[in-house]
Amino acid sequence: MAKDFEALASGLKTEWSDDTKREYEESVAAFDREIEARLAVGAALALARADAGLSQEALARASRVQQAEISRIERGHANPTLDTLARLAGAMGRTVSLDVVSEELA
């Protein structure tokens, strides 16, 4: 009978040192924050696009960013550059601003 991945991983984790366990938990937390940030950027883009009354296709034409990339950003599946976000915002008559937030608040 084959073990599922979670059972196998759990068994291996019991052999990890305390330092390894700590590093793993910190990495998981950082990854989760990254995913949350990508989803937030995507939701903000989708809302701004809807407020501007634009389809993804229309925004793609105006910004010269491929429609498929806009879709990936809106779904949180992309890691857009600041230049890409600025082009998208500019095509909607908006600007991009970044706020540095302490990880303690995130």
**pLDDT 10s digits, 43-90:** 999 999 999 999 999 999 999 999 999 999 999 999 999 999 999 999
Asked whether residue 69 is assigned to any structural domain, the reply reads yes
Answer whether residue 1 shows pLDDT above 60: no
Asked whether residue 83 is assigned to any structural domain, the reply reads yes
Q: Is 73 exposed, middle or buried (0-12, 13-18, 19+ CB in 10 A)?
A: buried
Answer whether residue 106 shows pLDDT above 80: no
Asked whether residue 76 is assigned to any structural domain, the reply reads yes
Asked whether residue 14 is assigned to any structural domain, the reply reads no
Question: What is the domain count for the chain?
Answer: 1
Asked whether residue 16 is assigned to any structural domain, the reply reads no
Q: Token digits for 104?
A: 């303690």
CATH of the domain at 57: 1.10.260.40
At a CB cut-off of 8 Å and minimum separation 6, what does 96 contact? 82, 85, 86, 89
Asked whether residue 27 is assigned to any structural domain, the reply reads yes
pLDDT, residue 38, reads 96
Q: Which residue has the higher pLDDT, 100 or 39?
A: 39
Closest to 64 (Cα-Cα) out of 91, 97, 95, 92? 91
pLDDT, residue 70, reads 98
